[in-house]
């Protein structure tokens, strides 16, 4: 039973919108307004309006529907995020699977090449180092693919201790 100016107060975003609709006429479907509520929360209100007419077609008033959709929009955002993560998991699993086959072929052929060269010649220490780096890096790529697959399967992370001196030595060798 109160006028909308009293309910929302002068200058309130809802009051401003309702005034515009009343003065310019026409119906409106699902306009959303976001504002800070009295307790400091950001709220989103969805407003719809319909013109009322008498039997003779003369304007008789308006009906406004205001619906607080803040929680609904938050749930919708969570659902969209879950769908995006599901798609990302599916994509990462597919990419990891497609990379696994050529990586396995590289690993197999590297081992065959290394065996062939060891049978026919004595490998220099530099050649041994090259093979060691190639094998290590193929294993690292394989571990990365394993991590991607674990991520795609949403398993909890597994932590392990690492010998930092060995890690630094390996990075130095790569550089």
| pLDDT tens track for 47-64 | 888 888 899 988 788 888
Residue 52 pairs with which residues in a beta bridge?
A: 61
Q: What is the mean pLDDT of residues 88-116?
A: 88
Provide the pLDDT for residue 150: 77
d(CA 70, CA 93): 35
Average pLDDT over residues 148-165: 78
- Assign 139 a pLDDT band (cuts: 50, 70, 90): very high
Q: Is the pLDDT of residue 155 over 60?
A: no
Residue 67 is predicted with a pLDDT of 92
Helices within 25-124 (DSSP H only): 70-120
C-alpha closest to that of 104 among 163, 76, 146, 150: 146
Please, are residues 173 and 134 in contact by the beta-carbon 8 Å criterion?
Answer: no
The pLDDT of residue 33: 86
| Rounded average pLDDT over 99-113 | 91
Assign 42 a pLDDT band (cuts: 50, 70, 90). very high
Q: Is the pLDDT of residue 21 over 60?
A: yes
Position 156 confidence tier, pLDDT thresholds 50, 70, 90: low
132-150 average pLDDT score: 89
The whole-model pTM stands at: 0.51
User: Is pLDDT at 1 greater than 60 in this prediction?
Assistant: yes
Give the chain's largest Cα–Cα span.
Answer: 105
């Amino acid at each position: 039973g109160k006028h909308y100016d009293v309910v929302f107060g002068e200058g309130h975003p809802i009051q401003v919108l309702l005034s515009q609709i009343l003065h310019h006429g026409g119906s409106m479907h699902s306009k959303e307004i976001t504002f800070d509520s009295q307790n400091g929360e950001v709220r989103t209100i969805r407003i719809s309006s319909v013109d009322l007419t008498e039997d003779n077609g003369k304007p008789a008033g308006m009906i406004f529907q205001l619906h607080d959709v803040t929680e609904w929009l938050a749930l919708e955002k969570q659902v969209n995020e879950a769908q995006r993560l599901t798609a990302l998991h599916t994509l990462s699993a597919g990419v990891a699977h497609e990379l696994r086959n050529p990586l396995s072929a590289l690993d197999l052929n590297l081992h065959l090449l290394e065996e062939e060269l060891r049978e026919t010649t004595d490998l220099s220490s530099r050649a041994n180092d090259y093979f060691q780096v190639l094998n290590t890096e193929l294993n690292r790529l394989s571990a990365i693919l394993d991590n991607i697959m674990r991520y795609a399967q949403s398993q909890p992370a597994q932590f392990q201790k690492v010998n930092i001196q060995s890690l630094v030595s390996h990075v130095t060798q790569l550089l």
